[in-house]
């Protein structure tokens, strides 16, 4: 049976039928249509998102081999959803000296990892020169590694502190060895909700400007959205819409990663967490709405292995990496697995048992040939 026959036998309103027709004809949805997607039956959304994903990625599911470094959790900001940041000297704070960080890098010398992902808090005194030195020392040890580092919020602070323009700062970091930029710090772009959850840090406009400038200087990046807190469906679609507009302009985003708000040990705990039904809906809507993004990534240490596997039937085509000693952002906010790691065999099995084809990629989605 053809996809449109399956869809038209489902219980859809006339408005929903028009939306499905547009998607099947590869026509772009507007924000009202995008918001209406959240009212679709979940099974129908899964079929549509899988159809869109299949056209872009066939049955491939990507993963990479990476490790994480979190130089510090000391942060000048106090985002309401964050369980991770501490003040200098506070219980639970850390700031690893450079030689300790480099020792960890050394331990990957004989491995086949292709990426190191570096993010942390916005430390008041660590500046662009400090991080530049870190990047260049990492490159001395692992010359071929791709360094994906620093959220737009960290970049904003370190570049301003160095008295440089965005462009100058990004070019300087690129020359030190920066390969691309992760998607963090986007949170939710709506100004009212952003004011309530992270009023102190870089604004939505600054986040978008940093990514736009990075793309113009040849640095590709990822995009995220923190969902499941104070925002509603319209805020989510408006967030996706801003990303879609920037992608039209620069084509510099590699992937979109929805991040589910986790509730332990932070000031928004009273809100609780959205359930799996909402997670799957959110993946499917993101896949359908972001027609100019090639990839949608489920960050499995946040989602857990079981739900990650189900997400592959809701538009997801990437499950990130074999994350050793992973980010503590999620374990400190209540993710079940406190030291998440899957070896290549486990990752490929997880993908194969979903009827998909595992493909190892590098950070920029070049396929690693074995
Ligand atoms: O910006 C903080 C989020 C982000 C919580 O680019 C929380 O490949 C849920 O950006 N519940 C940082 N989320 C992590 C990040 C990331 C992760 C994986 C892959 C990539 C990539 C980027 O973590 C922050 C914020 O949105 N975060 N606290 C929390 N309680
Ligand atoms: Fe700092 Fe990032 Fe936590 Fe906000 S989310 S308080 S910027 S570490």
pLDDT digit string, tens, across residues 149-177: 999 999 999 999 999 999 999 999 999 99
> Considering only CA atoms, which of 369, 350, 364 is closest in space to residue 61?
350
Task: Find the range with the poorest average confidence among 48-52, 222-226, 264-268, 323-327.
Answer: 323-327
What is the residue-averaged pLDDT of the chain? Answer: 94
Query: Is ligand 1 within 6 A of the CB of residue 182?
Result: yes
- Please tell me whether residues 153 and 44 are part of one structural domain: no
d(C-alpha 327, C-alpha 335), whole Å = 11
- Please tell me whether residues 69 and 36 are part of one structural domain: no
pLDDT-derived band at 197 (thresholds 50, 70, 90) equals very high
Ligand 1 centre distance from Cα of residue 10 (Å): 36
Radius of gyration of the chain (CA): 20
pLDDT-derived band at 183 (thresholds 50, 70, 90) equals very high
pLDDT-derived band at 24 (thresholds 50, 70, 90) equals very high
Q: For residue 92, give both structure tokens.
A: 């639970």
Query: Is ligand 1 within 6 A of the CB of residue 155?
Result: no
Query: Is ligand 1 within 6 A of the CB of residue 299?
Result: yes
pLDDT-derived band at 333 (thresholds 50, 70, 90) equals confident
Mean of pLDDT values over 38-44: 96
Domain boundary among 53, 70, 93: 53
Residue 337 has pLDDT above 90, yes or no: no
> What 8-state DSSP symbol labels residue 270?
G
For residue range 57-88, what is the model confidence (pLDDT) as tens digits?
A: 999 999 999 999 999 999 999 999 999 999 99
Task: Find the range with the poorest average confidence among 43-57, 204-218, 261-275, 335-349.
Answer: 335-349
Query: By alpha-carbon position, which residue is closest to atom 4 of ligand 2?
Result: 79
* First CA to last CA distance, the chain: 37
Query: By alpha-carbon position, which residue is closest to atom 7 of ligand 2?
Result: 77
Phi, psi of 186 (to 5 degrees): -70, -40
Q: For residue 196, give both structure tokens.
A: 């309530």
Residue 331 has pLDDT above 80, yes or no: no
- Please tell me whether residues 9 and 140 are part of one structural domain: no
> Considering only CA atoms, which of 341, 331, 327, 269 is closest in space to residue 68?
327
Residue 326 has pLDDT above 60, yes or no: no
Query: Is ligand 1 within 6 A of the CB of residue 44?
Result: no
Query: Is ligand 2 within 6 A of the CB of residue 228?
Result: no
> What 8-state DSSP symbol labels residue 297?
B
pLDDT-derived band at 339 (thresholds 50, 70, 90) equals low
Burial readout 132-166 (b: 16 or more C-beta within 10 A, e: otherwise) = bebbebbbeebeebbbbbbbbbbbbbbbebbebeb
The number of domains in the chain is 2
pLDDT given for residue 322 in this prediction? 77
- Please tell me whether residues 282 and 318 are part of one structural domain: yes
By the 8 A CB rule, do 273 and 330 touch? no
Ligand 2 centre distance from Cα of residue 306 (Å): 28
By the 8 A CB rule, do 294 and 254 touch? yes
pLDDT-derived band at 94 (thresholds 50, 70, 90) equals very high
Mean of pLDDT values over 238-246: 98
Query: Is ligand 2 within 6 A of the CB of residue 186?
Result: no
Domain of 173: which CATH number?
Answer: 3.20.20.70
Residue 220 has pLDDT above 90, yes or no: yes
- Please tell me whether residues 19 and 143 are part of one structural domain: no
Domain that holds residue 204: 62-369
Query: Is ligand 2 within 6 A of the CB of residue 120?
Result: no
Ligand 2 centre distance from Cα of residue 332 (Å): 13
> What 8-state DSSP symbol labels residue 151?
-
Residue 196 has pLDDT above 90, yes or no: yes
The set of residues, in sequence order, having a beta carbon less than 8 Å from that of 138 and lying 6+ positions away, is 102, 105, 116, 145, 147, 177
- Please tell me whether residues 120 and 244 are part of one structural domain: yes
pLDDT given for residue 303 in this prediction? 87
pLDDT-derived band at 44 (thresholds 50, 70, 90) equals very high
- Please tell me whether residues 40 and 126 are part of one structural domain: no
Mean of pLDDT values over 176-181: 98
Residue 219 has pLDDT above 60, yes or no: yes
Mean of pLDDT values over 120-145: 97
pLDDT given for residue 300 in this prediction? 86
**Residues recorded for the chain:** 370
Beta strands in 104-235 (DSSP E): 115-118, 146-149, 178-181, 220-227
Give 66's strand partners: 115
- Please tell me whether residues 200 and 285 are part of one structural domain: yes
- Please tell me whether residues 144 and 41 are part of one structural domain: no
pLDDT given for residue 244 in this prediction? 98
The set of residues, in sequence order, having a beta carbon less than 8 Å from that of 294 and lying 6+ positions away, is 56, 57, 254, 255, 365
pLDDT given for residue 162 in this prediction? 95
- Please tell me whether residues 14 and 75 are part of one structural domain: no
The set of residues, in sequence order, having a beta carbon less than 8 Å from that of 44 and lying 6+ positions away, is 7, 10, 12
Query: Is ligand 1 within 6 A of the CB of residue 266?
Result: yes
Ligand 1 centre distance from Cα of residue 329 (Å): 7
- Please tell me whether residues 290 and 214 are part of one structural domain: yes
Sheet with 60-64: strands ordered across: 318-321, 60-64, 357-360
Residue 325 has pLDDT above 60, yes or no: no
- Please tell me whether residues 190 and 296 are part of one structural domain: yes
Q: Which ligand is nearest to the CA of 220?
A: 1
d(C-alpha 348, C-alpha 358), whole Å = 6
Residue 202 has pLDDT above 70, yes or no: yes
Task: Find the range with the poorest average confidence among 67-76, 83-92, 259-268, 318-327.
Answer: 318-327
Query: Is ligand 2 within 6 A of the CB of residue 215?
Result: no
Which residue of 85, 196, 331 sits with most ligand 2 atoms within 8 Å of its CB, as the best mutation to test the pocket?
85
Query: Is ligand 2 within 6 A of the CB of residue 78?
Result: yes
The number of the ligand 1 atom at minimal distance from the alpha carbon of 263 is: 30
Residue that the structure tokens 């949608």 belong to: 296
By the 8 A CB rule, do 228 and 174 touch? no
Query: Is ligand 2 within 6 A of the CB of residue 121?
Result: yes
Q: Count CB neighbours of 246 within 10 A.
A: 21
pLDDT given for residue 297 in this prediction? 97
Mean of pLDDT values over 94-99: 96
pLDDT given for residue 206 in this prediction? 98
Q: For residue 29, give both structure tokens.
A: 């949805």
Q: Which is higher by pLDDT, 51 or 301?
A: 51
Mean of pLDDT values over 42-50: 96
The set of residues, in sequence order, having a beta carbon less than 8 Å from that of 67 and lying 6+ positions away, is 104, 108, 113, 115, 116, 117, 323, 324, 325
Ligand 1 centre distance from Cα of residue 298 (Å): 12
The number of the ligand 2 atom at minimal distance from the alpha carbon of 201 is: 7
Ligand 2 centre distance from Cα of residue 274 (Å): 21
């Amino acid at each position: 049976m053809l996809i449109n026959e399956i869809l038209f036998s489902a219980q859809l309103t006339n408005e929903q039928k028009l939306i499905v027709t547009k998607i099947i004809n590869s026509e772009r949805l507007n924000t009202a249509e995008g918001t209406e997607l959240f009212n679709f039956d979940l099974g129908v959304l899964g079929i549509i998102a899988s159809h869109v994903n299949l056209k872009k990625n066939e049955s491939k599911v990507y993963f990479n081999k990476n490790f994480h470094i979190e130089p510090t959790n000391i942060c000048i900001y106090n985002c309401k959803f964050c369980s991770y940041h501490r003040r200098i000297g506070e219980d639970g704070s850390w700031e690893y000296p450079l030689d300790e960080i480099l020792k960890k890098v050394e331990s990957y010398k004989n491995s086949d990892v292709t990426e190191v992902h570096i993010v942390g808090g916005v430390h008041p005194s660590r500046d662009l020169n400090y991080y530049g030195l870190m990047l260049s020392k990492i490159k001395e040890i692992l010359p071929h590694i791709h360094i994906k580092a620093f959220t737009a919020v960290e970049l904003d602070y370190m570049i301003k502190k160095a008295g440089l323009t965005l462009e100058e700062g990004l070019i300087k970091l690129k020359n030190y060895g920066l390969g691309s930029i992760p998607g963090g710090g986007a949170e939710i772009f709506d100004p009212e909700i952003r004011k309530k959850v992270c009023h102190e840090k870089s604004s939505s406009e600054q986040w978008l400007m940093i990514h736009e400038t990075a793309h113009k200087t040849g640095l590709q990046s990822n995009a995220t959205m923190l969902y499941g807190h104070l925002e509603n469906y319209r805020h989510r679609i408006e967030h996706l819409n801003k990303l879609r507009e920037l992608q039209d302009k620069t084509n510099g985003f590699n992937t979109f990663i929805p991040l589910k708000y986790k509730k332990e040990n932070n000031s928004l705990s009273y809100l609780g967490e959205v359930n799996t039904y909402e997670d799957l809906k959110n993946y499917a809507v993101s896949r359908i709405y972001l027609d100019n993004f090639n990839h949608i990534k489920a960050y499995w240490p946040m989602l857990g292995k079981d739900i990650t596997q189900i997400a592959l039937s809701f538009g997801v085509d990437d499950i990130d990496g074999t994350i050793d000693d992973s980010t503590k952002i999620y374990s400190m906010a209540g993710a079940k697995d406190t030291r998440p790691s899957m070896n290549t065999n486990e990752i490929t099995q997880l993908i194969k048992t979903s009827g998909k084809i595992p493909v190892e990629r590098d950070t920029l989605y070049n396929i690693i040939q074995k």
